[in-house]
């Protein structure tokens, strides 16, 4: 099926169910009302001159119009390009140019981000252009800009004007376009977080994201009675697929607590809307649990949710399960290139299985663990690179055949770059990133293993382990540690805690106490930045330049 086909089916089946509750906007839509708005928007996009296969980018935070655009573009066969709200002019220009975007939807501003001003910096020609007739030297494909909210700006049309334009398009025309679409058609380009190098545009189809969202919902045992609190960003596959698509495919409710993550807004939304589930990356759950007012909120309605995006500290998973009443909380592992879910734990799994693994391969998804050097399948229980194949694997990286061939081999396997093991029951455990693996004196050390041990220290709130260059051993371990509020510790105390509990070569040589880690807006730790900073602080620049065997 296409996304539009199932969306219409759900809207007809659950017309009076809440579809969207945007608390910060004071907006509510039932599925019937959302269907009307989606159809108006789809026809509005068509009235702008957009047709099947054209690219429409959206640069906005978590607002109801984002979800409307998500389903409206799918109905019209238009490829939606997700733009990170944290992007600035250089990154915006890159994404719009690389994706060959023809139309852009943008907000006016959020906090200190003036999106209109930044766009005019990239494309000043807009200010003297008629709406829909932009001629931009840097962005030759871009013709149309729609302002989602705020006062009308030169060269742009407003969301309301665009929706009004759609009334000129007959309903039959939208139906005709829908019937021409195929489930294998691409409808989405998502830019990877870019922890290294330039972001790549992941091309996803109806089939990719519709099925991944459906199976994500199934793993959480979603029904039309579930209400999901969504503090994760929509532009990222977590929000767009694991959250929005999981809800839509089950007739469940999407609750938007705020435009951006805020722990209090999230907790208030759960209590006020009686949410049964909440999503988040580990740093979000940590912020909620450690908030001084946490105990004031009634979270009894919660049942399930997903923790994903980056490795989850086991101790916090246990707290989420008990203190937040999320007895059926699950872990999802994946990446944008896989729509994004590859493995997922089940609500039936024991807490031990849910905290120590990332679950089993999702339905209709193949997973294998291979030796990074030989490419041969590794025996059960041995570490290797995680590879995945099946319906969720992306079509390609947009306009980047070289990167596509590096990521997906001739047999259709996506090489994730993540290291892990599969046990006898098919449960997968992540042991680190291929490029993060530390080789100390010939010993392979997986930082995740050392991190999990350090989490057991009573004073440690969060920890990240990296490798830094060393003359004698090639590499040495360094731990960046965030202490719990009110706690104290010294490097010597941390090392003493490790002695006798983990192998001597796994005890970090260097300890650094920090208040935060460099990370992307989706909560992914940027270890390469940690490594760069550490090399400089430790005076290891010369060692880093030495060639190692």
How confident is the model at residue 488, as a pLDDT? 96
464, 451 contact by CB (below 8 A) = yes
The residue assigned the tokens 């908030």 is 291
Q: Does domain 439-545 have CATH number 3.30.1280.10?
A: no
What is the spatial distance between Cα 332 and Cα 346, in angstroms, rounded to a whole number? Answer: 9
Q: Of 174-183, 396-405, 438-447, which gets the smallest average pLDDT?
A: 438-447
Q: Report, as an integer, the average pLDDT of 274-292.
A: 92
Mean pLDDT to the nearest integer, 276-287: 90
Other residues' Cβ atoms within 10 Å of the Cβ of residue 475: 20
Compute the average pLDDT of residues 266-279.
98
Domain 3-17+29-191 fold: Rossmann fold (3.40.50)
Q: What percent of the chain has pLDDT over 70?
A: 97
Two tokens at 37? 């708005």
Stretch among 88-97, 100-109, 433-442, 524-533 having the lowest mean pLDDT: 433-442
Work out the mean pLDDT of the chain and round it to a whole number.
Answer: 93
Instruction: Find the mean pLDDT for residues 182-196.
Output: 83
pLDDT at residue 181 tops 80 = yes
Average pLDDT over residues 523-546: 88
Q: What pTM did the predictor assign?
A: 0.84
- Rounded to whole angstroms, the Cα distance separating 183 from 459 reads 51
Judged against a pLDDT cut of 90, whether residue 138 lies above it is answered with yes
In total, the chain counts a number of residues equal to 549
pLDDT at residue 500 is higher than 90? no
Q: Is the pLDDT of residue 374 over 70?
A: yes
Are the C-beta atoms of 463 and 511 separated by less than 8 Å?
no
Q: pLDDT by residue (tens digit) across 2-38?
A: 999 999 999 999 999 999 999 999 999 999 999 999 9
Phi, psi for residue 43 in degrees, rounded to 5: -70, -30
In the chain, pLDDT over 90 holds for what percent of residues? Answer: 80
pLDDT band at 193 (very low <50, low <70, confident <90, very high): low
What is the rounded average pLDDT of the residues 76-86?
94
Indicate the pLDDT class of residue 300, thresholds 50, 70 and 90: very high
Q: Map tokens 């943008």 to a residue.
A: 106
Band (526; pLDDT cuts 50, 70, 90): confident
Is the distance from CB of 203 to CB of 397 less than 8 angstroms?
yes
Between CA 471 and CA 473 the distance in angstroms is: 6
Q: Provide the pLDDT confidence category of residue 312 given band limits of 50, 70 and 90.
A: low
User: What residue spans define the domains of the chain?
Assistant: 3-17+29-191, 439-545
pLDDT exceeds cutoff 50 at 275: yes
Segments of 365-459 assigned E as strands:
365-370, 384-390, 396-397, 414-422, 428-433, 438-440, 443-445
DSSP helix/strand/coil, 182: coil
**For 462-487, what is each residue's pLDDT tens digit?**
999 999 998 877 889 999 999 999 99
What is the mean pLDDT of the segment spanning 132-136?
Answer: 96
Least confident span in 28-32, 82-86, 237-241, 425-429: 82-86
Mean pLDDT over 41-46 rounds to: 98
- Report pLDDT for 549: 33
Mean pLDDT of 267-283: 95
Q: What Cα–Cα distance (Å) separates residue 305 from each residue in 144, 210, 222, 294, 545? A: 38, 19, 10, 18, 45
pLDDT value of position 452: 83
What's the average model confidence in pLDDT over 356-371?
95
**Reported confidence tier of residue 442, pLDDT bands at 50, 70, 90:** low
- Reference 403, options 192, 96, 204, 88; nearest CA is 192
Instruction: State the Cα–Cα distance between residues 549 and 279, nearest whole angstrom.
Output: 44
Q: What is the DSSP letter of 546?
A: S
**Whole-number pLDDT of residue 548:** 42
Position 310 confidence tier, pLDDT thresholds 50, 70, 90: low
More confident residue, 106 or 113: 106
Q: Show the tokens assigned to 400.
A: 């980047």
């Amino acid at each position: 099926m296409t996304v539009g086909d199932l969306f219409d089916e759900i809207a007809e089946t659950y017309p009076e169910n809440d579809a969207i509750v945007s608390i910060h906007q004071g907006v509510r839509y039932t599925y019937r009302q959302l269907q009307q708005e989606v159809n108006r928007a789809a026809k509005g996009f068509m009235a702008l001159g957009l047709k099947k296969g054209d690219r429409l980018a959206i640069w906005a935070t978590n607002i109801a119009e984002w979800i409307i655009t998500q389903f409206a573009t799918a109905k019209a066969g238009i490829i939606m390009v997700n733009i990170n709200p944290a992007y600035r002019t250089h990154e915006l220009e890159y994404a719009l140019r690389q994706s060959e975007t023809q139309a852009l939807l943008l907000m006016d501003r959020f906090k200190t981000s003036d999106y209109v001003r930044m766009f005019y910096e990239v494309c000043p020609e807009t200010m003297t252009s008629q709406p829909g007739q932009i001629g931009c030297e840097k962005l030759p494909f871009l013709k149309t800009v729609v302002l989602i909210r705020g006062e009308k700006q030169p060269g742009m049309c407003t969301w309301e004007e665009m929706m009004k334009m759609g009334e000129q398009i007959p309903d039959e025309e939208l139906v005709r376009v829908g019937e021409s679409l195929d489930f294998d058609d691409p409808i989405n380009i998502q830019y990877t977080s870019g922890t290294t190098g330039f972001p790549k545009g992941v091309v996803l189809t109806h089939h990719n994201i519709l099925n991944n969202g459906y199976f994500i919902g199934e793993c959480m045992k979603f029904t039309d009675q579930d209400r999901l609190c969504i503090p994760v960003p929509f532009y990222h596959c977590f929000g767009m697929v694991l959250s929005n698509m999981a809800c839509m495919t089950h007739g469940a409710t999407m609750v938007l607590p705020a435009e951006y993550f805020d722990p209090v807004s999230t907790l208030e939304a759960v209590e006020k809307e009686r949410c049964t589930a909440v999503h988040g990356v580990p740093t979000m759950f940590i912020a909620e649990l450690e908030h001084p007012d946490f105990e004031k909120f009634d979270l009894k309605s919660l049942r399930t949710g997903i923790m994903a995006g980056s490795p989850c500290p086991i101790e916090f998973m246990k707290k989420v399960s008990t203190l937040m009443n999320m007895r059926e909380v699950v872990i999802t592992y994946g990446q944008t290139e896989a729509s994004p879910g590859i493995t997922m734990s089940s609500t039936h799994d024991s807490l031990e299985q849910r905290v120590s693994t990332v679950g089993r391969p999702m339905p209709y998804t193949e997973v294998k663990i291979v030796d990074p050097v030989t490419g041969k399948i590794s025996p059960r229980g041995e570490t290797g690179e995680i590879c995945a194949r099946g319906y969720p694997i992306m079509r390609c990286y947009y306009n980047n055949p070289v990167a596509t061939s590096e990521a997906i081999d001739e047999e259709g396997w996506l090489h994730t770059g993540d290291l892990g093991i599969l046990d006898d029951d098919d449960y997968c455990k992540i042991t680190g990133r291929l490029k993060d693996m530390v080789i100390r004196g010939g010993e392979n050390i997986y930082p995740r293993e050392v991190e999990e041990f350090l989490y057991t220290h009573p004073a440690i709130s969060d920890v990240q382990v990296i490798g830094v260059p060393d003359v004698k051993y090639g590499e040495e371990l360094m731990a960046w540690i965030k202490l719990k509020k009110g706690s104290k510790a010294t490097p010597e105390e941390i090392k003493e805690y490790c002695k006798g509990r983990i192998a001597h070569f796994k005890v970090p040589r260097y300890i650094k106490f920090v208040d935060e880690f460099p990370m992307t807006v989706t909560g992914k730790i940027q270890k390469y930045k940690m490594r760069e900073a550490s090399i400089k602080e430790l005076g290891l620049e010369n060692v880093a330049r030495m060639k190692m065997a």
